[in-house]
């Protein structure tokens, strides 16, 4: 793995939430490794980064692929952050992470949108996802983030066939460690708002989320639901109005319909 960026070193040395970054060439899943480190006593503020995951995990039990074997380590950014939040605020962590990725993608020169809860889209094409897992025994969260930075020349297939990467949209190379520094700086700031003033975070999230106002199909743990996404609750849930009434969805996969 390459030497870390000076901005990352500055972030670690300054008065930041992030106190350590572990770099790996290859792991099963950075989320699993961050959880393991927490169980071994690592405090919140640890970030685990890998060039390649052998068993990267997405939401709803899906796998998360990177393109390190064909496009090299810079194709994707794969990281997991160990954080502690009060239990009542934990539902907002996925939104905070989505906003942080959105910020970093924008700083890289692209024009992203958020699809609830935290898919980052360029046009209607996904370029990043977030998997937040809670370690209930330790009252910690693992915030796992995967960003497709530069998949130019990579052939995609299956359900990611219509996804994209930041460089495919901007036409420019993305400096991975600078992008990570932007992302971590922003994530710290949004996580701060989660505890101090969630209304600031929710207002910013609403302004960037293209799901509210759309016709949607939502796959929830309890089944599928179709309707119009009409609002966000204070806990980050999506309010969906369907023929059967209005439902507050806490977790699910959204498909934007026409």
* CA-to-CA dists, residue 65 to 51, 70, 194, angstroms: 12, 12, 30
Query: What is the residue whose two structure tokens read 């993305």?
Result: 174
Instruction: Kindly state whether residue 113 participates in binding ligand BTN, applying the rule CB under 6 A.
Output: no
The interface mask with ligand BTN, positions 130-169, x = CB under 6 A, is: xx------------xxx-----------------------
Which range, of 125-133, 187-195, 212-220, 228-236, touches ligand BTN by CB under 6 A? 125-133
Find all residues with CB under 8 Å of 169, minimum gap 6, and list them: 110, 111, 122, 123, 127
Residue of 4, 45, 58, 178 interacting with ligand BTN (CB under 6 A) = 58
- CA dist., res. 75 & res. 66, Å (int): 7
Instruction: Kindly state whether residue 53 participates in binding ligand BTN, applying the rule CB under 6 A.
Output: yes
CB of 133 to ligand BTN, least distance (A): 9
CB 80 within 8 A of CB 31: yes
Instruction: Kindly state whether residue 29 participates in binding ligand BTN, applying the rule CB under 6 A.
Output: yes
- CA dist., res. 47 & res. 21, Å (int): 5
For residue 160, the SS3 value is: helix
User: Contacts with ligand BTN in 199-258 (CB under 6 A)?
Assistant: none
| Site residues (vs ligand BTN, CB under 6 A) | 29-31, 53, 56-59, 62, 64, 78-80, 119, 129-131, 144-146
């Amino acid at each position: 793995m390459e030497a870390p960026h000076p901005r990352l070193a500055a972030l670690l040395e300054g008065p930041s939430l992030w106190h350590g970054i572990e770099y790996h060439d290859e792991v099963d899943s950075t989320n699993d490794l961050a959880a393991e480190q927490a169980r071994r006593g690592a405090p919140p503020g640890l970030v685990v980064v890998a060039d390649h995951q052998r068993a990267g995990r997405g939401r709803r039990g899906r796998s998360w692929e990177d393109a390190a074997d064909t496009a090299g380590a810079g194709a994707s950014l794969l990281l997991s952050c160990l954080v502690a939040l009060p239990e009542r605020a934990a539902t907002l962590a996925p939104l905070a992470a989505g906003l942080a990725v959105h910020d970093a993608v924008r700083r890289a020169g692209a024009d992203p949108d958020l699809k609830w809860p935290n898919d980052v889209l360029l046009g209607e094409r996904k370029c990043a996802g977030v998997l937040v897992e809670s370690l209930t025994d330790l009252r910690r969260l693992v915030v796992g983030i995967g960003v497709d930075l530069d998949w130019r020349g990579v052939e995609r297939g299956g359900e990611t066939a219509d996804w994209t990467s930041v460089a495919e949209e901007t036409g420019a190379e993305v400096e991975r460690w600078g992008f990570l520094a932007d992302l971590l700086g922003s994530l710290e700031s949004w996580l701060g708002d989660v505890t101090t003033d969630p209304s600031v975070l929710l207002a910013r999230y609403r302004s960037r989320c293209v799901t509210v106002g759309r016709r949607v199909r939502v796959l929830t743990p309890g089944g599928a639901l179709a309707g119009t996404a009409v609002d966000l609750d204070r806990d980050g849930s999506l309010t969906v109005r369907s023929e059967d009434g209005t439902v507050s969805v806490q977790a699910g996969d959204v498909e934007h319909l026409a």
